[in-house]
């Protein structure tokens, strides 16, 4: 079992006070395709609620799920978009300014040091960006995918972040590692 110290926030949109959470180990495979339709997501822990950065509960709540297997930390999100609004998806390349689009962001501090952290961002079009601390040139080994249908009222994203990439290893089946995970949502086109 992995213990995570979670902070949820959405840049321009939401934040929640840190909570301590026991992450579920999944015994099913997750195919990272942005759809969150595998049985393993049914075992994942749902995180909520998200709050607006300047205070109050966000009026439109995303579904954020987190779990792990022996190799990866999995984070998935179903992110509603306001009615009659289109998502902003302009960045197509890796390491472009994906935070300028509608995007989902994760900060992971595997040992809660506040100095050695990893940042992962994926926009609604699937373009990704990562960093190790402030080093935006770092390109880690991780997988992500987003899914968006223009007729839908939401978009979704999945991350598979190998524990090896973030220099952490879970202790399966026992109370084990403690790490900080911050989660945020950039909402551009919806305002």
Taking the C-alpha atoms of residue 28 and residue 124, their distance in angstroms, rounded to an integer, is 26
- Indicate the pairing of strand 128-132 with strand 118-123: antiparallel
Can you give the residue ranges of every domain in the chain? 2-186
Q: With the C-alpha atoms ordered 103, 37, 32, 132, is the resulting torsion angle positive or negative?
A: positive
Q: CB atoms < 10 A from the CB of 172, how many?
A: 12
Q: Per-residue pLDDT tens, the chain, 191 aa: give them.
A: 333 434 443 333 333 334 445 666 777 789 999 999 999 999 888 887 777 767 777 777 889 998 888 899 999 999 998 777 889 999 999 999 999 999 999 888 887 777 788 999 999 999 999 999 889 899 999 999 999 988 889 999 999 999 999 988 765 443 345 566 777 666 655 43
As its CATH architecture, domain 2-186 has: Sandwich (2.60)
Residue 179, pLDDT score: 63
Taking the C-alpha atoms of residue 88 and residue 102, their distance in angstroms, rounded to an integer, is 6
Taking the C-alpha atoms of residue 15 and residue 32, their distance in angstroms, rounded to an integer, is 26
The span from the first CA to the last CA of the chain, in angstroms, equals 39
């Amino acid at each position: 079992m992995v213990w995570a110290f979670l902070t949820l926030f959405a840049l321009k949109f939401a934040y929640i006070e840190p909570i301590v959470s026991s992450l579920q180990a999944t015994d099913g495979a997750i195919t990272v395709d942005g759809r969150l339709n595998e049985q393993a997501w049914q075992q994942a822990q749902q995180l909520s609620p998200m709050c607006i950065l300047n205070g109050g509960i966000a009026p439109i709540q995303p579904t954020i799920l987190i779990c792990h297997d022996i190799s990866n930390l999995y984070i998935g999100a179903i992110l509603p978009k306001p009615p009659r609004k289109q998502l902003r998806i302009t960045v197509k390349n890796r390491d472009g300014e994906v935070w300028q689009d509608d995007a989902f962001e994760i900060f992971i501090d595997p040992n809660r040091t506040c100095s050695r952290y990893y940042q992962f961002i994926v926009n609604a079009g699937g373009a990704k960006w990562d960093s190790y601390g402030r080093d935006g040139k770092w390109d880690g080994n991780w997988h992500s995918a987003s899914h968006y249908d223009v007729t839908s009222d939401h978009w979704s994203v999945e991350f598979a972040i190998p524990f090896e990439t973030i220099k952490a290893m879970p202790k399966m089946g026992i109370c084990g590692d403690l790490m900080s995970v911050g989660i945020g949502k950039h909402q551009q086109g919806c305002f």
